[in-house]
Structure 1
Amino acid sequence: METLGRLTGPSPLALPLLVLLALISAGLVIYAAGNWALGAGFGAAVLAGAALLSWYRRLHPPEVAVGEAVPDWTVARAAADASNMAIAVTDRAGRLVCASDLFGEWFPGFPTPPHVTGDAPLSDSLGHAARAAWRDGEARVEGIVQGALRLDAFLCRTGRSEDYLLWRFSPVRQPSALDDVHRLLTGEAGRQLGEAGIMAVMIGGEGRIRAANGAFLLRAAGRIDANITGRDFAAHMRVDDKGRLFLAREESGGVPLRLLQVPLKRAAQPAGAQSGAQDGPMLLLLIDEPAGNAGGTSALSYIETLLSLLPFGLAMADRDGRVLFMNKAFSRAAGVKPEEKPSYPGDLVVREDQAAVADAVRRFAVGPQMSGDVAVRMRNQPDEPIALSLAGVRGLGEAAVLLSLKDNSEESKLKRQVAQATKMQAIGQLAGGVAHDFNNILTAIIGHCDLMLMRHTPGDSDYDDIQQIKSNSNRAAGLTRQLLAFSRQQTLRPQILQLPDIVADVSNLLKRLLGESVKLEVTHGRNLGAVRADPGQLEQVIVNLAVNARDAMPDGGTLNIQTYAVPAAKVREMRSDILPPADYTAVRVSDTGLGIPPDILSKIFEPFFTTKELGKGTGLGLSTVYGIVKQSGGFIFAESELGRGASFVIYLPVYQGADADQAAQPKAPVRRSETWGTGTVLLVEDEDMVRAVAERALSRQGYKVLTANDGEQGLEVLAGDEKIDLLISDVVMPNMDGPSMVARARATHPDLPVLFMSGYAEEQLRKSIDIANVAFLPKPFSVSQLAEAARDALAMRPAE
């Protein structure tokens, strides 16, 4: 719609013209009066007056009368038609100046509002609304009846000067139960009804189908997208001789149906007609008839059938507490076989909890319906209390109490595993710390014994005593190695090897350990892959398992050691949750002894757990075996049956490196040179006793030894005038540890060989000591071991 008028303003040439007139006027004044000041003032006054006049015209422009311009209504009408709305525009005189095509369709002849209908009261209402809109700006009229239409009118004042009324007519949607039900059946609600087992159909008064949900289409026509609109509903149904209703398509073995009718529009009933007669459209709901109403089957058996399909444990008991039914999940959670149904719920729990269970069943069986939980311990699982849920039920015949038992065996297993892992981690950290401190003490004891033995010869009065002290110290060192082994913190020296070679090397020792009453049998498989492990530790594993097997056969028996290949395909067939699919080489150590009880089998790898008499076992044997196998990247499993022996199977991954083929080739013995040496050694150790014995041992080997208490003192000595040929340092020290000191020392001495020594395992310290040209010596060590390590470390020094 175009505007009704335009504002007038100054012409673009007005300003230059005013300036020219002001100059001419000023010139005439100057010419007449001969006064320049008077002429300039007169010209300035002319310009000022022109500016004031222009400013006033801008603030108060002249108005143009409405009648002076003819509005163009074509744009407004096109916009009204595009909106698909019935719109009309009237002026103050009540004349119709613009209307949409839809307005003409609803009101033929384009009548002038408010006279759109011949209804006088309605015209009066529209007239009052028009006056209210002129007064208040807007108005509304509802319930305009125009033929089959029911309309609402909305009026608002509009235009630049608000000289027009805009009439907007909108249809009122009539509520229709038929449309609502049609949308319900064909939409999401119909699908949800089908998932709940309800078939829904809407039929007309003539009995023909107008709409149906997917559940009815699938069972009545065989396809969920079938088009059966307009077909006779009765043609899809059948009634048997007992009056039961079935789907015609389900001729044999069908389920009887229950039909519910919901009238959607009640037709007018003639006089004398039966109340409730229905001829209009209806919503039909069909559900499967409960089993209690079909074929004489009891409701209880139907409920039992449903409960047997549920994945959680449910059982039912009568008022006297007798068990009527329990599903498989309940039997599994209670730890009983399905065919061994107990007579009472109390038979499932330990003796101490039987009275509480019986009392709870009696309370829930009578009175109002209620539910609750009772903490009980099952007879087959007495260690862990679980919750037995009870709920009173009514209307199921003999059943009075519903019992629920959660199968938390997997959850309990996970809890035990987490608790075991936490306990093992805590014990491992404790054992590692104890072993570290104990190794320092043993290093000093063994070192001083070696120094004393250098001054005594066999036959001296003190020689045997010193030898005994060293022997006991070595036994103590073996104990610390066991502590580190089960906590997986020992230092391993892995090599590429074949398991049959390890078994062959240890077989002679095993024959002496087993005695005459135990027979040793060894068999080896073919195509065994090489493994990467510490041969000495693997021998220790086999010896520990063999000794345990010997103790389990007090009257004699057979110990069998078998090696065989386990390809990845076989591992997948095993479906183990622990053993990942890969190629393994396995060793099985089995005996014909007494076997291991089931309640002990899960605890045998725990540290300090033993079934031997006091003083005959430390409980570290199998925990050491477990730690060595796990630290080697392998897996160990125990299998046993009471009276039929036990088996331990170790799976070690096949080594895939390029040097795997060299595992079976014998290596040439390495010639060792003398341990005597020359040069200056810087010894950094925070333990005084270890530093003293190491200093004496190195001095006796011909080295000049400089000592320091920590890393900072070591750097000070290194910065002195003395040339250092070898740096021997502890790893863990206060103030500055060994790796930090070496990292700073390499800045000034890049080729300095370094020998680290520590009571912790090398693997545990690998990240901190991952420095080039560095050797490692585990504590405790002897004087000869220290001398050999120093010699080998000096050999790494580059030739000058």
Structure 2
Amino acid sequence: MATLPTIRAYHLTTEGALGVAIGAGLVAAVLILWLLGDPVVAIGFLAAGIVIGGATVAWRVLAPIAPPPVPAIDWQLVRALAEESPDAIAITDRAGQLVCANERFEQMFSGLPTPPSLPIGEAGVGALAAAGRSAWRDGRARVEHAEVAGRAIAIDVSRMGQHQDLLVWRAASAIEADGSRALAEALSGALGKRLAGSGIMAALLTPDGRVLAADPVLRTRAMGYAEAPVEGADFARFLATDSRGLIRFEREGGEGNPLRLVQVPFADVEGAPILVALLDEDETPVSYGNGAATHIRTLVQLMPLGIALVDRDGRFIEMNDAFVRAASIDRAAPPLYPGDLVVREDKAAVADAVRRFAGGGAAHVTDMAVRLRDLPDEPVVLSIAGARGLGDASVVLSLKDNGEETRLKREVAQATKMQAVGQLAGGVAHDFNNILTAIIGHCDLMLMRHSPGDSDYDDIQQIRNNSNRAAGLTRQLLAFSRQQTLRPQILQLPDVVSEVSNLLKRLLGETVTLEVRHGRDLGPVRADPGQLEQVVVNLAVNARDAMLAKHPHGGGKLTIQTRPATLGEIRRRGPDIMPVGEYTALEISDTGSGIPLEILPKIFEPFFTTKEVGKGTGLGLSTVYGIVKQSGGYIFADSKPGIGATFTIYLPVHATGEVVAPRGTVARKRPVEVWGTGTVLLVEDEDMVRAVAERALTRQGYTVLTAENGELALELIEKHPRPDLLVSDVVMPAMDGPTMARRIRLRYPDLPILFMSGYAEAQLRRSIDLENVAFIPKPFSVQQLAEAARDALGQPE
């Protein structure tokens, strides 16, 4: 609809056009009459002017008026205004797409889900969808009760926008929405003073009994002065009960005035604050009737621990909310006896202990590890103590949920087991690498004396190939124990995936579809490209097997995606597991049979496999885990049985000015001839490795001095002139390689050193504080040793 100034301007323009047309016709008629003297022609010109003016007016009236341009929405301004609100706010358009949300929304719902599909349960989503439809129709709707992550919330939905084409979803904590914050401020101010003047002490408490606010008189009585900081304190600790059941401030002792405690329900919402009033009363005995007194019940409810009272007959007479939650008790059908809470095997022991304390036969608190009937998998601690001065109550039960403690113990045990297995695997791999070094070295020496076509050449080559396969097994052992030697580079994950895609197509076969997607603005990572390719291949092969298990005749889809990790998903993983930062994610998902939930925590354990006997070593996923962790990254497995599994790898973005080397670049070729000159001091405690290394270096033109340990090497240094190169094992008995090298460097500070070891270079370098030190991993070939010696000496190629 046009505005009023536009309509006025329109009428003025129309009247002006009509006047101009009639005026022009009148002038033309006068001129014709004066020149020709013919009134008929003059009248014709006048009539033409009137017709033209009328046509102009008609066109003006009938022609459509262009609507004014619609101003574009400044979403940056909208987002800035939304961030100022303490509520979680999201905006969706007519198509149901999320167009704006503030950070509070992302925090509350652990990401950016599109309303009404929020993580509030199936019933909550249904109610929210109905509220959205009502908001489109009526302009506003509200969901009073919803729950996210165990917290009650209320959600308002409003239709907004210049064309009423947007929905604003506003979620707020139901506890905050009920005005508890304003009440807390009032209790600490004028309202608290007025209540105190009337002899009423008041406090606002959290459901677990922590103080949110209190009036000045209560602060004075409980702590000694009106400005005492009580916020966050356990309210029950301010009170004490004597043998007659009277409640007093603990600070005032037995001479203080007894108190009457009244609990005022503040809001009919689970988890809402509790308003408590304390009144001074006369010191008269309390009559309990058939159960615990009202103020005793209130005191029990305020305790942060799970507390229940049991009478002499062993029946429950009171239990607080913390006890109900810990024991998973149904309020509609509460148990009669403590034994009803536990599994059948623990019933007799619990009943026996309650009977002993009820009869006064036990004086101390007893802790029992029991399993609850509704939660039989995790044991909990049940504390039992005798009660005096609590009316009909004779036994106090305290239930402590030690699930978190049990989980931590399990994780520590798992970490200890992994460390022990890793140390064992590292030691086995180190010794095995020495054997493989000797086998590969002797094969190389024999191949130098044979040419292709000889009868023995193929046999020697086969031995060498099998030895290299065995070396691959040791690399797997070192990988999951995080002792592998990595060669990290600055690279982009899409390049790694592209390099291995052709191999994956052959591994997956024609029946499995491979889909590769790459995100934008990916940060570079620092990792060993060869090891990352092994990670992708291992996960892809496992996914293929899972899909073939679900579809024996073929089928399934493997999706590999690279993308930048969002801050929301990193927070969802937990800052105690993965620190907040910039990560690039590699996600591999399949449509296979999925991973059962009961074995999901075990899949990265070494030697754990779900495959048939003889079809899996159990090292695949543990190798993947070791490579990712050694690269500074994190890996998570998410699965829904029957739907598929997703493995997500997060590698930290490498934020330096180094240039990312393009994948596919080939390292400079080594020359065939690696002859050298000079004297090499070779120190190796393994006889077979020392013999191979000595023959290999001698054949390349070096003069070799050998020693089987560090002490003999120091004696050779004293007897012979300065060597040109020191080649030494790192781990040796008595004196290790770095200690020996430091002693030799005192005599020859610029002596080049080449260390060789079957352990990880990164670990060894942390314990080696020497400069001009090179490293070669075992097992190595004769050619590799010769090249490493030449490079360490700095000789030209």
Q: TM-score, normalised by structure 1?
A: 0.59
* Counterpart pick for 1:491 among 463, 478, 485: 485
Residue 733 of structure 1 aligns to a residue whose secondary structure is: coil
Q: CA deviation at 1:582?
A: 1.0
In the TM superposition, what are the counterparts of 1:774-789 in structure 2 within 5 Å?
774-789=773-788
Determine the structure 1 residue equivalent to 2:660: 662
Query: Structure 1 pair 682/391, CA: closer, same or farther in 2 (3 Å)?
Result: closer
- Equivalent position of 1:578 in the other structure: 577
Number of aligned positions between the proteins? 536
Q: Which residue pairs with 1:635 in the alignment? A: 634
Change (3 A) 1:256 1:505: closer
The 1:710/1:572 distance shift into structure 2, 3 A limit, reads same
Does 2:439 align with 1:448? no
More displaced 10-residue stretch of structure 1: 354-363 or 591-600: 354-363
Which of 514, 520, 527 is equivalent to 2:514?
Answer: 520
**Residue correspondence of structure 1 range 67-82 to structure 2 within 5 A:** none
In 1: Cα distance, 2:474 partner to 2:434 partner: 11
Task: Report the Cα offset of residue 322 of structure 1.
Answer: 6.6
Distance (Å, rounded) in 1 between the aligned partners of 2:777 and 2:306: 57
CA distance 1:595–1:400, change in 2 (3 Å): farther
Task: Spell out, residue by residue over 1:723-772, the C-alpha distance to the aligned partner (whole angstroms, 9 max, x if none).
Answer: 74433222223344333333344455444432211122111210343422
Deviates most, 515-524 or 463-472? 463-472
Q: Which amino acid aligns with 1:312?
A: L
Aligned to 1:439: 433
Mapped to 2, the partners of 1:763 and 1:698 lie a distance apart of 26
Q: Distance in 2 between matches of 1:494 and 1:375?
A: 50
Give the 3-state SS of the residue equivalent to 2:599 in structure 1. Answer: helix
Distance 1:420 1:498, change over 3 A: same
8 A contact 1:307–1:314 mirrored in 2: yes
The partner residue of 2:670 within 665, 669, 672 is 672
| Residue 729 (structure 2) aligns with | 730
SS, match of residue 624 in structure 2: helix
Q: 1:552 to 1:733 in 2, by over 3 A?
A: same
Residues 511-538 of structure 1: CA deviation (Å, up to 9, x unaligned): 2223334332221111110111111111
How high is the sequence identity, in percent, across the aligned residues? 66
Aligned to 1:697: 696
Verify: 1:530 aligned to 2:524, yes or no. yes
Cα distance, 1:363–1:727 mapped onto 2, change above 3 Å: closer
Q: In the aligned structure 1, how far is the partner of 2:773 from the partner of 2:731?
A: 16
SS at match of 1:552: helix
Looking at CA atoms only, which structure, 1 or 2, has the larger radius of gyration?
1
Q: Deviations over 1:335-379 (max 9, x none)?
A: 678778667644543332233334445555667897644332345
Indicate the residue corresponding to 2:586 in structure 1: 587
Shift of 1:679: 0.8
- In structure 1, what is the equivalent of residue 172 of structure 2? none
Q: Give the aligned CA root-mean-square deviation in angstroms.
A: 4.2
Distance 2:559 2:329 in 1: 36
Match of 2:381 in 1: 387
Which residue, out of 476, 482, 493, partners 2:476? 482
Q: Could you tell me whether the CA contact under 8 Å between 2:378 and 2:403 is conserved in 1?
A: no
**Partners of 1:582 and 1:653 within 8 A in 2:** yes
Aligned partner of 1:85 in structure 2 is: none
Task: Summarize the alignment of residues 234-273 of structure 1 with structure 2, pairs less than 5 Å apart.
Answer: 260=281
| CA 627–259 in structure 1, closer or farther in 2 if over 3 Å, else same | closer
8 Å contact from structure 1 (residues 316, 403) kept in 2: yes
Which residue number in structure 1 is paired with residue 160 of structure 2?
none
> Aligned pair 1:688/2:687, yes or no?
yes
Q: Go from structure 1 to structure 2 and tell me whether the alpha carbon gap of 1:337 and 1:531 turns closer, same or farther (over 3 Å shift).
A: farther
User: Distance between the aligned counterparts of 1:742 and 1:615, measured in 2?
Assistant: 46
C-alpha contact 2:201 2:218 (8 A) present in aligned 1: yes
CA gap of 1:570–1:598, structure 2 versus 1, over 3 A, is: closer
**Is the Cα–Cα contact under 8 Å of residues 638 and 646 in structure 1 kept in the other structure?**
yes
Q: Is it true that 1:215 corresponds to 2:221 in the alignment?
A: no
Q: Which amino acid in the other structure matches residue 655 of structure 2?
A: Q
Which residue, out of 409, 416, 420, partners 2:403?
409
User: Do 2:384 and 2:398's aligned partners in 1 also have CA atoms closer than 8 Å?
Assistant: yes
Q: Where does residue 303 of structure 2 map in the other structure?
A: 310
> Where does residue 39 of structure 1 map in the other structure?
none
Task: Indicate whether 1:792 and 2:786 are aligned.
Answer: no
Residue 547 in 1 paired to residue 546 in 2? no
C-alpha change, 1:452 and 1:402, in structure 2 (3 Å) is same
Aligned-partner residue type, residue 557 of structure 2: T
Distance 1:381 1:688, change over 3 A: farther
How many Å separate the matches in 1 of 2:589 and 2:602?
18
Partner Cα separation in structure 2 for residue 217 and residue 760 of structure 1: 64
Distance 1:367 1:291, change over 3 A: closer
**How far apart, in 1, do the equivalents of 2:596 and 2:412 lie?**
23
SS at match of 2:657: coil
Range that drifts further, 389-398 or 621-630: 389-398
Tell whether the 8 Å contact from 2:381 to 2:401 is kept in structure 1 after alignment: no
Output aligned runs, 1:313-332, within 5 Å: 313-315=306-308, 327-332=320-325
Deviations, residues 635-668 of structure 1 (Å, cap 9, x unaligned): 2222223323222221111111120x43448756
Q: Would you say the 8 A contact 1:499–1:563 is kept in 2? A: yes
Aligned-pair distance for 1:399?
7.0
SS where residue 345 of structure 2 aligns? helix
Describe the superposition over 1:548-602 as per-residue Cα deviations: whole angstroms up to 9, x where unpaired.
Answer: 2223331343222221112557635765321111111111222222333333222
Q: CA deviation at 1:690?
A: 0.4
Q: Please tell me whether the aligned partners of residues 514 and 550 of structure 1 are also in contact (alpha carbons under 8 angstroms).
A: yes
Secondary structure of the residue aligned to 1:478 is: helix
What amino acid is aligned across from residue 502 of structure 2 in structure 1?
N
- Residues 566 and 586, structure 1, Cα contact 8 Å, conserved in 2: yes
TM-score, normalised to structure 2, is 0.59
Task: Give the structure 2 partner of residue 357 of structure 1.
Answer: 350
Query: CA distance change for structure 1 residues 291 and 632 in 2, over 3 Å: closer, same or farther?
Result: farther
Give 1:581's aligned amino acid. V
SS at 1:765's partner residue?
helix
Moved more, 599-608 or 699-708: 699-708
Structure 1 distance, partners of 2:732, 2:672, is 31
CA distance 1:509–1:224, shift in 2 (3 Å): same
How many angstroms apart in 2 are the aligned matches of 1:336 and 1:378?
A: 10
Identify if the C-alpha distance between structure 1 residues 562 and 376 changes in structure 2 by more than 3 Å, giving closer, same or farther: same
In the aligned structure 1, how far is the partner of 2:780 from the partner of 2:472? 12
Structure 2 distance, partners of 1:290, 1:654, is: 68
3-state SS in 1 of match to 2:550: coil
The answer to whether the 8 Å contact 1:369/1:393 transfers is no
Task: Find the counterpart in structure 2 of residue 237 from structure 1.
Answer: none
Paired with 2:722 and 2:714, the residues of 1 have a C-alpha distance of 13
Q: 1:322 to 1:737 in 2, by over 3 A?
A: same
Q: Measure, in 1, the Cα distance between the counterparts of 2:261 and 2:463.
A: 96
Q: Separation in 2 of the partners of 1:702 and 1:522?
A: 51
Equivalent in the alignment of 1:647? 646
> 1:576, 1:704 → 2: CA distance?
57
Unaligned runs of 5+ in 1: 1-190, 201-212, 226-244, 248-252, 262-284
The answer to whether structure 1 residue 505 and structure 2 residue 499 are counterparts is yes
Which AA in structure 2 matches 1:413?
R
CA deviation profile, 1:430-459 (whole Å, cap 9, x unmatched): 222222122111111121122233334455
**Is the contact between residue 310 and residue 316 of structure 2 (CA under 8 Å) also seen in structure 1?**
yes
Which amino acid in structure 1 is aligned with residue 419 of structure 2?
A: Q
Distance apart, 1:412 and its partner CA: 1.6
Secondary structure of 1:602's counterpart equals: helix
SS at match of 2:766: coil
Letter in 2 for 1:795: G
